[in-house]
Amino acid sequence: MEKLIITIAPTGNVPTKEMTPYVPVTAAEIVADVEACFAAGAAVAHLHARDEVGAPTHRVEVFQKIVAALDASGCPIVRQLSTGARAARTGEERAEVLALTADSASLATGSSNFPRSANVNEPALIEHLAKEMIQKGIKPECEVFDAAMVPNAVSLAKAGLLQEPLVFNLVLGVKGALPATARNLLFLVESLPPGAVWSVAVVGPQHVPLSMMAMALGGHVRVGVEDNIYYEKGVLATNAMLVKRIASLASAMGRDLATPVDVRRIWGVEGGL
């Protein structure tokens, strides 16, 4: 079985310092967390940015501070930048971060619902982001919140806008989208095209059992305060705690952890990022 890629999603758009003191929001806090998570076994960092008051932002200069600080730290973790809808509205705004030198970026391949808003990704916007990524040599990770997002990604690949192997992140447990159940995870995995690389990101109390299920099926795992602020009921999590638990479970299941070099091989981009 392939080595396990652990992705850390340290910040996201939703958690605030009022919800948990462990969410990193400044560039210094984010980089310190990413370094700790890399040391614990994470190979990819899924990065969001926050502005001066801690609100989600798409501004490229804020992302630049994070990327520059990571570069200065010498941390070799694979950088994956968010192009999500919560921090920006237009395709141009969401594409701003792609001007930075990055290994990967998120690409939602359809629309879905968030708890209090719609996650709108119109076909023209998706194509715009995909074209920007392929032109800049940035590997898209297709974010799947609902079932139609898988065939949408396959259609993009057929149109030459995504290069194989396709990389998917199967997001379960977001209120308004697919619930976090074993049945839904199996359904999505069985819907993927041959040769696809996939990970699971589970929001809510099922994140441990479904992450273990993903590992048993040969998939990869994303964890982080972005997705879950609790380690267990009543216990707030740090990002490093969440990574360490998955690394420990992987060891018990006999799966070695992927390094950033392994990630590039698995994603089929050796020498290209």
pLDDT per position as a tens digit, 80-114: 999 986 655 677 788 889 999 899 999 999 988 88
d(C-alpha 22, C-alpha 138), whole Å? 30
pLDDT at position 162 is 97
Q: Quick one: CA dihedral 204, 207, 209, 214, positive or negative?
A: positive
Provide the 3-class DSSP secondary structure of residue 199.
Answer: strand
> Please, are residues 165 and 103 in contact by the beta-carbon 8 Å criterion?
no
pLDDT exceeding 70 applies to what percent of the chain?
A: 97
What is the CB neighbour count within 10 angstroms for residue 69?
18
d(C-alpha 20, C-alpha 225), whole Å? 9
Q: Which residues pair with 38 in a beta bridge?
A: none
Please list, residue by residue across 112-131, b when 16 or more beta carbons sit within 10 angstroms of its beta carbon and e when fewer do.
bebeeeebebeeebbebbbe
d(C-alpha 83, C-alpha 22), whole Å? 23
Taking 80 as the threshold, does the pLDDT of residue 69 lie above it?
Answer: yes
Residues in the chain: 273
> Please, are residues 11 and 24 in contact by the beta-carbon 8 Å criterion?
yes
> Please, are residues 129 and 81 in contact by the beta-carbon 8 Å criterion?
no
Q: What is the torsion angle, in degrees rounded to the nearest 10, for the CA atoms of residue 150, residue 85, residue 5 and residue 66?
A: 160
Those residues whose C-beta lies under 8 Å from the C-beta of residue 75, and which sit 6 or more positions away, are 31, 34, 35, 38
pLDDT per position as a tens digit, 32-63: 999 999 999 999 999 999 999 989 998 999 99
Spell out the domains of the chain, with CATH numbers in brackets. Answer: 6-266 (3.20.20.70)
pLDDT per position as a tens digit, 144-185: 999 999 999 999 999 999 999 999 999 999 999 999 999 999
pTM above 0.85, yes or no: yes
pLDDT at position 88 is 57
pLDDT per position as a tens digit, 221-233: 999 999 999 999 9
Distance of CA 153 to the CA centre of its chain: 16
